[in-house]
Amino acid sequence: MRRLGEIELISEYLAPLAAHPGAFGLKDDAALLTGLPATGLAITADGLVAGVHFFEDDDPGDAAYKALAVNISDLAAKAARPLAYTMTLALEEAPSEDWAERFSNGLARAQAKFGIALIGGDTITARGSWWISITAFGEASPRGLVPRTGAKAGDLLYVSGTLGDAALGLRLRQGTLGQHLTQAQRDFLIARYLYPEPRLSLAPALASFATAAMDISDGLALDLSRMCAASGVSAEVSVTAIPLSDAARAAVNCQSEAIETILTGGDDYEILAAVPPDLASAFEAASLHAQVPAARIGTVAAGAAPPKFKAANGSGLILKIKGFEHFKV
Amino acid sequence: MRRLGEIELISEYLAPLAAHPGAFGLKDDAALLTGLPATGLAITADGLVAGVHFFEDDDPGDAAYKALAVNISDLAAKAARPLAYTMTLALEEAPSEDWAERFSNGLARAQAKFGIALIGGDTITARGSWWISITAFGEASPRGLVPRTGAKAGDLLYVSGTLGDAALGLRLRQGTLGQHLTQAQRDFLIARYLYPEPRLSLAPALASFATAAMDISDGLALDLSRMCAASGVSAEVSVTAIPLSDAARAAVNCQSEAIETILTGGDDYEILAAVPPDLASAFEAASLHAQVPAARIGTVAAGAAPPKFKAANGSGLILKIKGFEHFKV
């Protein structure tokens, strides 16, 4: 099996991903982004580490796909349109052709799906597990970025898609979720874990109607608490209103604690948005137009405080863990 | 000793570095860069890994300084002016307050020196040695980026500053360089290794007069061969014309093989530029005005071929290694 040096990896596998004219075929020291948006450039950075954000034995193409998708999800949540990205890739040893092909194919799939091209980066030696660090650029909406900080008491809280699928998919990968699901349900949850679906088409609805928005990457409980803290508000969420896929509902029906996983597990990459009540029907219509399901899960309350989660019987849910944090102390 | 979680690390140590208004105090999912240059945005990415690019026991502030400096050096070589940067920082465990303070102080020193601010990023868990991945943004010069590809036969080759100091400093750190240097010489070489000096003030001279430019990060021999390959030319370098510091000259005088280290060792972060002969005196005057020494080391020759290095007696120098490459096969 042929192994690739840095130069072959770049010229044969990464340069074809850099169709952007400002990438100079990845042959120069810097890229040039021109035709810059008058609205400003949205910039986000997210890194993924093997053994932390994905399994060491995951397909490298799936890891690459996810690395780009989670960055695009941040752009989507801020109502920005993807333009280009840089990637620093660190490998402990020279990759095989097979590895490079799978990795670059995963990136190519993600690029095609999200309408974005590689514009530059770095390939270096890792000391430990391999990792990918991406910085993505987007065109800001005419109002700029939809912030985390704008939620107001009385706003309605919406989430896109369904929550908890990826966290349940992770538990299936880890073997800690029961065997009561059908194969189709298992496949669905694992696919949701592997292939986040950034809600780019929701951008116009967010830009026009949301007072605050963010993507849910570390679990609804933790990310909503972050939005509340940033906005100086609290929130009340009806757990029964949280949109669940059939597979997630099947998991909850058999194992009621699965609702904890759904609220705190993370990796959803769905959008959490606060919308003033008088704009709610317009927001819902815009979501429908964007073909992104948006479910109303609760309301924003006055006073900076952690959000409350109410069960069907009206009692408050106490979550044992809040969500995922890196190097938590 | 208090250990910091992700949230404390960001809010107490990194947010103060993000004075940029578009950084939103590092409290949002994305940054917003406005007032974008009409000339285009220069973008460069470079990552550094403990145990690969710096020693595990180096001061984290020195590592942080270097991580930012090597990115700025790429902007400088392309004649771009620094604007902002993102950083993804990966740590294997929760850092101590002392670590965070030294790390952020190093970044603060670099930011002040290079006139740049943190605008966003990510803090994650490493699996193995800790690392920093930076993407830096700059304002392109009115002509755009000075490319690697523009060198023409007959152009004169210049380098800024002195070469080889950092590579000799690294050998001192590794204990493979003789004991014949004075303490002052040793301190100088190690400082040159730890604190690269991006030649930002040379940008106007490069933008106005250079046909091609790049920074020398992997050794003159390898980086010049890259410029030659990118430009479809060759080059002839007079080894005796390569500018050496007093300390580097002392090293060569006692250990003649040290010239190999100087040509191939890397980490110089000086500028290599090709300048047409009729613009040479203007380029030299502009360098003088910028207070950056620029030495003429050779000429660009016709025909795509590896560069030749001529010794004092006119014979060609055969280099055992060409320079530093990641995961070389």
What is this model's ipTM?
0.94
In this prediction, residue B46 carries a pLDDT of: 97
Of A268, A183, A188, the residue nearest A220 (C-alpha): A268
CATH topology of domain A7-139: 60s Ribosomal Protein L30; Chain: A; (3.30.1330)
Q: How far apart (Å, rounded) are the C-alpha atoms in residues B288 and B274?
A: 17
Map residue A103 onto helix, strand or coil. helix
Class of domain A156-310: alpha beta
| Angle, vertex CA A164, rays to CA A159 and CA A166, nearest 5 | 115
DSSP-assigned beta bridge partners for residue B240:
none
Kindly report which listed range (A35-49, A255-269, B72-86, B125-139) carries the lowest average pLDDT score: A255-269
Q: Residue B224 in contact with residue B237, Cβ under 8 Å?
A: yes
Provide the phi-psi class of A181: left if phi over 0, else alpha when psi is between -120 and 50, else beta: beta
Q: How far apart (Å, rounded) are the C-alpha atoms in residues B92 and B90?
A: 7
Query: Mutate which of B133, B218, B270, B324 to test chain A, going by most A C-beta atoms within 10 A?
Result: B133
DSSP B161: S
What percentage of chain B has pLDDT greater than the value 70? Answer: 98
Does B149 sit within 8 Å of A120, measured CB to CB? Answer: no
Closest-CA distance, B222 to chain A, in angstroms, reads 12
Three-state secondary structure of A247-271: HHHHHHHHCCCHHHHHHHCCCCCEE
Query: Mutate which of B9, B13, B32 to test chain A, going by most A C-beta atoms within 10 A?
Result: B32
Closest-CA distance, B182 to chain A, in angstroms, reads 34
The arithmetic mean of pLDDT across residues A101-126, rounded, is: 97
The arithmetic mean of pLDDT across residues A39-62, rounded, is: 96
Q: Give the number of A-B residue pairs with CB atoms closer than 8 Å.
A: 238
DSSP-assigned beta bridge partners for residue A1:
none
In single-letter form, the type of residue at position B160 comes to: S
Listed in sequence order, the residues at least 6 apart from B318 whose beta carbon sits closer than 8 Å to its beta carbon are none
**How confident is the model over B136-176, as pLDDT tens digits?**
999 999 999 999 999 999 999 999 999 999 999 999 999 98
Residue B246 has pLDDT above 70, yes or no: yes
Q: Residue B247 in contact with residue B169, Cβ under 8 Å?
A: no
**How confident is the model over A230-253, as pLDDT tens digits?**
999 999 999 999 999 999 999 999
Closest residue of chain A to B42, computed from CA coordinates:
A32
Query: Mutate which of A78, A132, A133, A324 to test chain B, going by most B C-beta atoms within 10 A?
Result: A133
- pLDDT-based confidence at residue A325 (cuts at 50, 70, 90): confident
Of B162, B166, B164, the residue nearest B70 (C-alpha): B166
Does B45 sit within 8 Å of A122, measured CB to CB? Answer: yes
| Angle, vertex CA A71, rays to CA A211 and CA A251, nearest 5 | 80
Q: How far apart (Å, rounded) are the C-alpha atoms in residues A43 and A75?
A: 8
Joined together, the tokens standing for residue B170 give 């690294």
In this prediction, residue A209 carries a pLDDT of: 98
Map residue B260 onto helix, strand or coil. helix
**How confident is the model over A214-226, as pLDDT tens digits?**
999 999 999 999 9
Q: How far apart (Å, rounded) are the C-alpha atoms in residues A107 and A291?
A: 25
Closest-CA distance, B258 to chain A, in angstroms, reads 26
- pLDDT-based confidence at residue B1 (cuts at 50, 70, 90): confident
What percentage of chain A has pLDDT greater than the value 90? Answer: 90
Q: Residue A255 in contact with residue A298, Cβ under 8 Å?
A: no
Which of A22, A43, A133 is opposite residue B88, by nearest beta carbon? A133
DSSP-assigned beta bridge partners for residue A295:
A159
Which of B22, B28, B46 is opposite residue A148, by nearest beta carbon? B28
Q: How far apart (Å, rounded) are the C-alpha atoms in residues A166 and A54?
A: 12
Joined together, the tokens standing for residue A288 give 């429908």
CATH topology of domain B6-139: 60s Ribosomal Protein L30; Chain: A; (3.30.1330)
Give CA separation, A277 vs A21, A156, A207, A235, A286, in Å: 45, 6, 16, 14, 15
Model confidence pTM above 0.90: yes
Domain ranges of chain B: 6-139, 156-310
Which of B50, B122, B128 is opposite residue A45, by nearest beta carbon? B122
Closest residue of chain A to B144, computed from CA coordinates:
A32
Does B45 sit within 8 Å of A88, measured CB to CB? Answer: yes
Does A4 sit within 8 Å of B329, measured CB to CB? Answer: yes
Q: How far apart are the first and last CA of chain B?
A: 44
| Radius of gyration over every alpha carbon of chain B, rounded to an integer in angstroms | 20
In this prediction, residue A328 carries a pLDDT of: 64
**How confident is the model over A199-210, as pLDDT tens digits?**
999 999 999 999
Q: How far apart are the first and last CA of chain A?
A: 44
Residues found in chain A: 329
Closest residue of chain B to A46, computed from CA coordinates:
B122
| Continuous segment of H or E residues that includes residue A300 | strand A294-301
Residues of B in contact with A137 (CB under 8 A): 43
Residues of B in contact with A55 (CB under 8 A): none
Listed in sequence order, the residues at least 6 apart from A199 whose beta carbon sits closer than 8 Å to its beta carbon are A73, A76, A77, A160, A161, A215, A270, A271, A292
Q: Residue B25 in contact with residue B18, Cβ under 8 Å?
A: yes
Does B49 sit within 8 Å of A32, measured CB to CB? Answer: no
Closest residue of chain A to B39, computed from CA coordinates:
A34
Residues of B in contact with A119 (CB under 8 A): 43
- pLDDT-based confidence at residue B29 (cuts at 50, 70, 90): very high
| Angle, vertex CA A263, rays to CA A261 and CA A264, nearest 5 | 65
- pLDDT-based confidence at residue A185 (cuts at 50, 70, 90): very high
| Angle, vertex CA A163, rays to CA A160 and CA A167, nearest 5 | 140
